[in-house]
Structure 1
Amino acid sequence: MNAPYVAKTQAFAIKTECRRYEGRVAIVTGAAQGLGRVIARRLAEEGAHVVMVDVQEEKVKRAAVLLQRETNQQFLGFGGDLSVAGVADEIVAETLKAFGRVDTLVNNAAALIRLRLVDFTEELLQKAVDWNVWNTLRCCKAVLPHMIERRYGRIVNIGGEAWRTGAPFHTLLAGVGKGSMVGLTVTLAGEVIGQGITVNCVSPGGIETAADGDPVPTESIRDPSWTGPGVMEELARLGAAARISMGRPSHPTEVAAAVAFFGAPEASFVTGQHIGVSGGMAMI
């Protein structure tokens, strides 16, 4: 058995103090591990029933079972490729069948492909767009009819600060993927502003994703070729050289806390907004 992972950022973990999600239902995508898993747990700690979705079916179902035991809240885990037509609609239908409502959607699923544009194969170009753009669009479209009917909903998109810092190796991941989350947030917020639905975006910087609380971490499906040799070391060097920053990655609970605010009922007069949770990596 692997030794428990000890997070370098553990001292900065955020304790849940609120109960804003009592009786509410949230869908979190890309939730099998990392930030998505931590967001799912945070919402459950605040009282939500949570539907976790990930392309890694076995892993997300295992995570749902573990988090239900740990939080005493109801969890459902679904596997599926959300970029494929119809999959998001099925997830929303199953959520409504189980819980009768969807209050919050957190679009966290992404393909973390960090390469220079010239090094992308045609297959990886398609994958990057599918898993960083199409999945979010399809999830929003699937959940909106129900939210519009109820005249209530919270959509939180997960962006990333590289779209505005110009970090190398992020042309597809941030420029097309996470950058598009910001544009989508603003335009969709304007589209549904009169229907009781808010749409906001949280952009993390570096995250210690291994600090997700999984007692027995397992291998990710992420292809090692998605990140070129020396890329992470180069990004760490650039981060350390930043003129102003906190000089460390975030503990994922620090990002989840911002997501929980945007997804809660109390964020009723906040829409079309973007917030960076990046330790000062980028500032207004």
Structure 2
Amino acid sequence: MPTSTLDLSQRVALVTGASRGIGRAIALSLAAAGAAVAVNYRQRESEADEVLARIASAGGRAIAVRADVSVAHEVEAMIDAVQSGLGAIDVLVNNAGTGLIRDIDELTEAEFDRTLAVNLKSAFLCTQAVLPGMRARRWGRIVNLSSAAARGGGLVGVHYNASKAGLEGLTRGYAARLGREGITVNAVAPALIDTEMVAPLKAANVVERMPVGRLGEPDEVAQAVLTVVGNAFITGQTIAVNGGVTFI
């Protein structure tokens, strides 16, 4: 489990889509920093349980909460479960996402709508749900997982581009309105991280085109998340974690 000098021992964190990949790495890193962590998942219960076991084995505290975070009533139930099980949510990481690869001639309206619901609407729903408590305590950290596709052509499709660009707009909008209340809102924008989502792209020789010559690791994204969680003067920013594939 990663180690950290950041002390979150009095904080509760919720990470959406945390049963695998980048979300899993973020949940483990927050737990290593001392936070009690709610591990959200939609389908992969056994993998979420493995994350809990890792956290527990290191002496941490965590619960798993199933919810489709693109559905309002499921988000409400999830927040209630987290608050009952761990306490008020101080750190929200909106990581849940979908990256269905579709060219413009294949993309359907249903796929476009689903991508925006999972990648963008979910962040809105979860943020709105945790804000009352954060504002009352005048402390909060919200981190949205964007992508290099928000500002570039990308390899997934225009639906993905739109969802991530919207997420960065949402980030800046909330940051501008919440900064004086002790709440920071930032985005972390990975690209070509070695996860299940990127596996179909490995055959496209993407590694050879990257300045660092390799795919990124989920832990490297988690490090960036912890950086903005630990800094009260960074807000409204997008932190690129992409091996130099694009420059923001």
Common fold by TM > 0.5:
yes
1:139 aligns with 2:108: no
Q: What is the rounded CA distance, in whole Å, between the counterparts of 2:44 and 2:243 in structure 1?
A: 33
Question: What is the letter of the counterpart of residue 10 of structure 2?
Answer: G
Superposed CA RMSD: 2.1
Q: What is the rounded CA distance, in whole Å, between the counterparts of 1:145 and 1:132 in structure 2?
A: 22
Which structure has the larger Rg? 1
Gaps of 5+ in 2: none
- 1:182–1:274 Cα contact (<8 Å) kept: yes
Question: What is the letter of the counterpart of residue 93 of structure 1?
Answer: D
Alignment of 1:1-284 (within 5 A): 15-56=2-43, 58-59=45-46, 61-173=48-160, 175-209=161-195, 232-233=201-202, 236-242=204-210, 245-264=211-230, 267-284=231-248
Shift of 1:57: 5.2
- 2:4–2:29 Cα contact (<8 Å) kept: no
Q: What is the rounded CA distance, in whole Å, between the counterparts of 2:120 and 2:28 in structure 1?
A: 25
Please state whether the residue corresponding to 2:185 is helix, strand or coil.
Answer: strand
- 2:2–2:32 Cα contact (<8 Å) kept: no
Please state whether the residue corresponding to 1:130 is helix, strand or coil.
Answer: helix
Please state whether the residue corresponding to 1:193 is helix, strand or coil.
Answer: helix
Shift of 1:239: 4.9
Please state whether the residue corresponding to 1:156 is helix, strand or coil.
Answer: strand
Q: How many residues align?
A: 248
- Counterpart in the other structure of 1:216: none
- When residues 120 and 25 of structure 1 are mapped into structure 2, their CA distance, relative to the original with a 3 A threshold, is same
Shift of 1:135: 1.0
- Counterpart in the other structure of 1:217: none
Please state whether the residue corresponding to 1:32 is helix, strand or coil.
Answer: coil
- 2:2–2:28 Cα contact (<8 Å) kept: no
Gaps of 5+ in 1: 1-13, 211-221
- TM-score, normalised on structure 1? 0.81
- 1:89–1:142 Cα contact (<8 Å) kept: yes
Shift of 1:130: 1.4
Q: What is the rounded CA distance, in whole Å, between the counterparts of 1:190 and 1:27 in structure 2?
A: 22
Q: What is the rounded CA distance, in whole Å, between the counterparts of 2:186 and 2:68 in structure 1?
A: 23
- When residues 36 and 68 of structure 1 are mapped into structure 2, their CA distance, relative to the original with a 3 A threshold, is same
Q: Deviations over 1:109-166 (max 9, x none)?
A: 0011121122123332222121111111100110111111111100000001122231
Between 1 and 2, higher relative CO (CA 8 Å, sep ≥ 6) is seen in: 1
- TM-score, normalised on structure 2? 0.92
Q: What is the rounded CA distance, in whole Å, between the counterparts of 2:47 and 2:68 in structure 1?
A: 13
Q: What is the rounded CA distance, in whole Å, between the counterparts of 2:207 and 2:158 in structure 1?
A: 17
Say which is worse superposed, 120-129 or 193-202, in terms of deviation.
Answer: 120-129
Question: What is the letter of the counterpart of residue 112 of structure 1?
Answer: G
Identity value in percent: 33
Question: What is the letter of the counterpart of residue 56 of structure 2?
Answer: R
Question: What is the letter of the counterpart of residue 129 of structure 1?
Answer: L
Say which is worse superposed, 193-202 or 121-130, in terms of deviation.
Answer: 121-130
Please state whether the residue corresponding to 1:165 is helix, strand or coil.
Answer: coil
